[in-house]
Chains A and B, each alone.
Chain A
Amino acid sequence: MSAIKKLNLKGHLLTAISYLIPIVCGAGFVIAIGMAFGGNSGADLTQEFTFWDALAKMGAGALGLLPAVISTGIAYSIASKPGIAPGFIIGLTANAVGAGFIGGIIGGFVAGYLAVAIIKYLKVPSWAKGLMPTLIVPFLTSLIGGLFMVYVIGLPVAAFTSWLTNALNSLGTSSLLIFGAVIGLLSGVDFGGPINKTVFAFVLTMQTEGINEPITALQLVNTATPIGFGLAYFIAKMFGKNIYTRSEVETLKSAVPMGVVNIVEGVIPIVMNDIVRCVTAVAIGGAAGGAVTMVLGADATVPFGGVLMLPTMSKPLAGALAIIVNVVVTGLALALLKKNVKEDEQVEVEEEDIDLDDIQII
Chain B
Amino acid sequence: MKIVGVAACTVGIAHTYIAQEKLETAGKKRGHEIQIETQGTIGVENELTQKQIDEADIVILAVDVKIAGRERFEGKRIIQVSTEIAVKSPNKLIEKAEQVVNAQK
Q: Interface of A with B (CB < 8 Å)?
A: 11-12, 14-15, 17-18, 21-22, 76-77, 191-194, 197, 263, 265-266, 268-269, 272, 275, 351-354, 358-362
The chain A residue with its CB closest to the CB of B22 is A272
* Given the contacts A359-B80, A360-B81, A361-B100, A354 and B14 also touching, CB distance less than 8 Å: no
Closest beta carbon of chain B to A93's beta carbon, Å:
23
Q: How many residues of B contact A (CB 8 A)?
A: 29
Q: Is the CB of A77 within 8 A of B65?
A: yes
List chain A residues, Cβ under 8 A from B100: 361
Q: Does B72 contact A (CB under 8 A)?
A: no
Closest beta carbon of chain B to A227's beta carbon, Å:
17
Q: Is the CB of A17 within 8 A of B13?
A: no
14 A–B contacts, CB within 8 A, in A order: A11-B64, A15-B10, A18-B9, A18-B65, A22-B41, A192-B11, A194-B84, A275-B88, A354-B81, A354-B85, A354-B89, A358-B81, A359-B93, A361-B77
Q: Is the CB of B14 within 8 A of A77?
A: no
List chain A residues, Cβ under 8 A from B77: 361-362
A22 to B41, CA, bound (A): 8
Q: Does B44 contact A (CB under 8 A)?
A: no
Closest beta carbon of chain A to B9's beta carbon, Å:
8
Q: Does B78 contact A (CB under 8 A)?
A: yes
List chain A residues, Cβ under 8 A from B28: none
Chain A interface SS verdict (over half): helix
Residues 1-44 of chain B, each 1 if its beta carbon lies under 8 Å from chain A, else 0: 00000000111111100100000000000000000000001000
* Given the contacts A194-B10, A352-B88, A354-B92, A15 and B66 also touching, CB distance less than 8 Å: yes
The chain B residue with its CB closest to the CB of A266 is B14
Q: Is the CB of B64 within 8 A of A194?
A: yes
* Given the contacts A269-B18, A359-B96, A361-B78, A18 and B88 also touching, CB distance less than 8 Å: no
Residues 64-91 of chain B, each 1 if its beta carbon lies under 8 Å from chain A, else 0: 1110000000000111111011011111
A265 to B13, CA, bound (A): 7
Q: Beyond A18-B41, A351-B91, A353-B89, list 20 extra A-B contacts (CB 8 Å).
A: A15-B65, A18-B12, A18-B65, A21-B10, A76-B66, A77-B65, A191-B14, A192-B11, A193-B15, A194-B64, A263-B13, A268-B14, A268-B18, A354-B92, A354-B96, A358-B85, A359-B80, A359-B93, A360-B79, A362-B80
